């Protein structure tokens, strides 16, 4: 039967908002990948204008009337369809109520400042000089505190920002989870083996690019719907249906940096591609569920697949050919051990899968205190360096390898970091369930490079669910239990035994 007109009208307005949000994504992608340096200031104004426009549409009283009319007309539908429509409008109202709390001028200012901040962060990182970014970062912190006040909170400002990435999450709950996880990780780090870089010499960017360009299609993301480029910080973004963008960065001395960057970002784009394939896309429930779930998809393909023996048994001959190496120059065993080596490093994106979560815990603790007013921006380098010494026993030599290494604060993305470790927890649990259901999957991985069973499982159980359920319900429906870090610890312990 045809949809009631009120439902058609509401979706038409929602899809206009979504179209312009995707236009903003195009502007952001271009500013990080293609835009000439002198275009930054005007581009920030363009992004701010689109952000303000979509915010105004979302908060317009006439849109609320459309939503209310749509909700009233749900009763005209068959009973079997009403539950999903109610959930769709429930999710939208949650998003709208949050948007209603932010004045348009604040949304515009935040979008403009974060776009300008990225360029200043990149220059400060290049110069290894925190002071060149400190003033802008202070502005971002104040804007983020203001945003938290607009959203409202019960216990602490950081909760309001955390909720934007992981709905319902509270900082004290995250702190408890991370504290228990850290206790389990410390002994693993102490016993985990370290292996040296086996590459016989520098590998040119051209050779790495050739190999990296193969990876998205291998995992299931075709070149017809995606492209790979280079940026200062690897990222992925969806520009709309059939258009997923991935970036990575290259190191001639350690090609694994670019390879795992591509695997990680491909995981994000596969999730977005799956969401785009949902019925009636785009609607409020065809969006990603949470950043933790989003990160679970990238970390699963990066670690559980990308660091597995079956994956490398298949791609090893291809890598040798693309890199112009022989198996004597790059022995398989030495390469695989290095891929799964554990070593305390200064830079998060180059961290191994064991110590990575310690990097996240460090950032969570710092940004929580920063937003809650317990520490000041001017003291960040000293605080960062002290925590690195305490947690890793490492001395930071300059700000680029210390407090300036991550892009997130220049984006105003306070509350984002914890989702990486939540993603690691979720991904281990998802992959364990998948392998229980597909015990022969490793043979398809190693002999054919066939990952279709895994992608199909993710499409069915996670991608096609969008925001229909909350995180805990999705975890229970997919794995039979709530999220539990024991699967991550079990995976890491098993990986260490495998390469020792």
CATH number at residue 293: 1.10.1370.30
For residue 187, count CB atoms less than 10 angstroms from its CB and return exposed for 0-12, middle for 13-18, buried for 19 or more.
exposed
67 and 180 inside one domain: no
65 and 179 inside one domain: no
59 and 170 inside one domain: no
Give how many domains the chain has, as a whole number. Answer: 2
Question: Residue 349's pLDDT is what?
Answer: 85
Is 276 among the domain residues?
yes
Q: What is the pLDDT along the chain (500 residues), one digit of tens a residue?
A: 688 999 999 999 999 999 999 999 999 999 999 999 899 999 999 999 999 999 999 999 999 999 999 999 999 999 999 999 999 999 999 999 999 999 999 999 999 999 999 889 999 999 999 999 999 999 999 999 999 999 999 999 999 999 999 999 999 999 999 999 999 998 998 889 999 999 999 999 999 999 999 999 999 999 999 999 999 889 999 999 999 999 999 999 999 999 999 999 999 999 999 999 999 999 999 999 999 999 999 999 999 999 999 999 999 999 999 999 999 999 999 999 999 999 999 999 889 999 999 999 999 999 999 999 999 999 999 999 999 999 899 999 999 999 999 999 999 999 999 999 999 999 999 999 999 999 999 999 999 999 999 999 999 999 999 999 999 999 999 999 999 999 999 999 999 999 98
Question: Residue 500's pLDDT is what?
Answer: 87
Check 265, 272, 350, 367 and give the catalytic one. Answer: 265
Q: Where are the beta strands (DSSP E) in 199-335?
A: 226-230, 236-238, 244-248
Annotated binding site: 264, 268, 295
Q: Which domain holds residue 57?
A: 1-101
Is 484 among the domain residues?
yes
CA dihedral 174, 180, 184, 190 (to 10 degrees): 80
CA dihedral 157, 162, 167, 168 (to 10 degrees): -50
Among residues 49, 72, 101, the one where a domain terminates is: 101
Residue with tokens 């350690």: 254
- The token pair at 439 is 């015990």
Is 389 among the domain residues?
yes
- Omega before residue 282 within 30° of 0, cis: yes
What end-to-end distance do the CA atoms of the chain give, in Å? Answer: 62
* CB contact burial 150-165 (16+ within 10 A = b; e otherwise): ebebeebbbbbbbbbb
Annotated binding site for Zn(2+): 264, 268, 295
Is 66 among the domain residues?
yes
166 and 200 inside one domain: yes
Q: Tell me the C-alpha distance between 316 and 320, whole Å.
A: 6
Asked if 108 contacts 49 with a C-beta cutoff of 8 angstroms, the reply is: yes
25 and 167 inside one domain: no
Is 111 among the domain residues?
no
Closest Cα to residue 207, out of 113, 362, 318, 131? Answer: 318
94 and 45 inside one domain: yes
Among residues 101, 130, 155, the one where a domain terminates is: 101
Q: Tell me the C-alpha distance between 227 and 245, whole Å.
A: 5
Is 112 among the domain residues?
no
Asked if 403 contacts 380 with a C-beta cutoff of 8 angstroms, the reply is: yes
Q: Cα–Cα distances in Å, from 202 out to 197, 249, 256?
A: 11, 15, 12
Is 439 among the domain residues?
yes
Task: Give the distance from CA 487 to its chain's centroid.
Answer: 20
179 and 278 inside one domain: yes
Please confirm, yes or no, whether 313 is among the known catalytic residues: no
Strand, helix or coil for residue 224: coil
403 and 473 inside one domain: yes
94 and 123 inside one domain: no
45 and 160 inside one domain: no
Closest Cα to residue 213, out of 317, 232, 205, 348? Answer: 205
349 and 299 inside one domain: yes
* CB contact burial 356-390 (16+ within 10 A = b; e otherwise): bbbbbbbbbbbbbebbbeebebeebbebbbebbee
Q: Cα–Cα distances in Å, from 400 out to 79, 128, 136, 260, 406?
A: 58, 5, 16, 21, 9
For residue 190, count CB atoms less than 10 angstroms from its CB and return exposed for 0-12, middle for 13-18, buried for 19 or more.
exposed
Q: Tell me the C-alpha distance between 446 and 346, whole Å.
A: 33
362 and 307 inside one domain: yes
DSSP class of 227: E
Q: Tell me the C-alpha distance between 255 and 200, whole Å.
A: 12
Sheet of 226-230, strand order: 226-230, 244-248, 236-238
Question: Residue 1's pLDDT is what?
Answer: 62
Q: Tell me the C-alpha distance between 70 and 6, whole Å.
A: 5
Is 106 among the domain residues?
no
């Amino acid at each position: 039967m045809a949809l009631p007109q009120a439902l058609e009208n509401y979706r038409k307005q929602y899809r206009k908002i979504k179209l312009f949000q995707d236009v903003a994504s195009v502007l952001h992608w271009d500013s990080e990948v293609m835009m000439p340096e002198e275009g930054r200031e005007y581009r920030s104004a363009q992004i701010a204008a689109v952000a303000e426009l979509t915010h105004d549409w979302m908060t317009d009283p006439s849109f609320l009337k459309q939503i209310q009319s749509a909700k009233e007309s749900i009763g005209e539908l068959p009973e079997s369809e009403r539950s999903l429509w109610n959930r769709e409008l429930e999710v939208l109202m949650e998003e709208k109520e949050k948007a209603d709390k932010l004045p348009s001028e604040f949304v515009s200012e935040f979008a403009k400042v974060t776009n300008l901040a990225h360029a200043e962060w990149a220059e400060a990182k290049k110069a290894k000089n925190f002071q060149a970014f400190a003033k802008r970062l202070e502005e971002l912190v104040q804007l983020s505190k203001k945003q938290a006040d607009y959203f409202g909170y019960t216990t602490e400002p950081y909760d309001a920002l955390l909720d934007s990435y992981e709905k319902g999450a509270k900082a004290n709950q995250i702190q408890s989870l991370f504290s228990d996880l850290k206790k389990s990780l410390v002994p693993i780090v102490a016993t985990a083996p370290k292996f040296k870089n086996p590459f016989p010499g520098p590998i040119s960017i051209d050779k790495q690019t050739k190999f990296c360009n193969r990876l998205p299609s291998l995992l299931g993301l075709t070149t017809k719907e995606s492209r790979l480029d280079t940026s200062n910080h690897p990222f992925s973004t969806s520009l709309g249906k059939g258009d997923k963008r991935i970036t990575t960065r290259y190191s001639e001395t350690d090609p694994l940096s670019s390879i795992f960057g591509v695997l990680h970002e491909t995981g994000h784009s596969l999730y977005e591609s799956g969401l785009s394939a949902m019925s009636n896309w785009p609607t409020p429930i065809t969006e990603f569920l949470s950043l933790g779930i989003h990160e679970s998809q990238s970390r699963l393909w990066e670690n559980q697949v990308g660091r597995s023996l079956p994956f490398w048994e298949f791609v090893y001959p291809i890598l040798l050919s693309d890199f112009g190496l022989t198996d004597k120059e790059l022995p398989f065993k030495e390469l695989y051990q290095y891929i799964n080596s554990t070593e305390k490093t200064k830079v998060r994106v180059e961290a191994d899968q064991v110590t990575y979560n310690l990097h996240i815990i460090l950032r969570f603790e710092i940004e929580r205190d920063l937003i809650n007013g317990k520490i000041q921006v001017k003291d960040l380098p000293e605080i960062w360096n002290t925590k690195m010494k305490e947690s890793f026993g490492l001395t930071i030599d300059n700000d680029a390898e210390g407090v300036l290494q991550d892009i997130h604060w220049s984006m105003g993305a306070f509350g984002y970091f914890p989702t990486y470790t939540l993603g690691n927890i979720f991904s281990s649990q998802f992959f364990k369930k998948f392998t229980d259901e597909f015990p022969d999957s490793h043979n398809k991985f190693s002999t054919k490079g066939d990952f279709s069973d895994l992608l199909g499982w993710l499409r069915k159980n996670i991608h096609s669910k969008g925001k229909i359920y909350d995180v805990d319900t999705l975890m229970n429906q997919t794995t039979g239990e709530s999220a539990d870090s024991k699967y991550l610890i079990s995976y890491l312990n098993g990986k260490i035994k495998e390469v020792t």
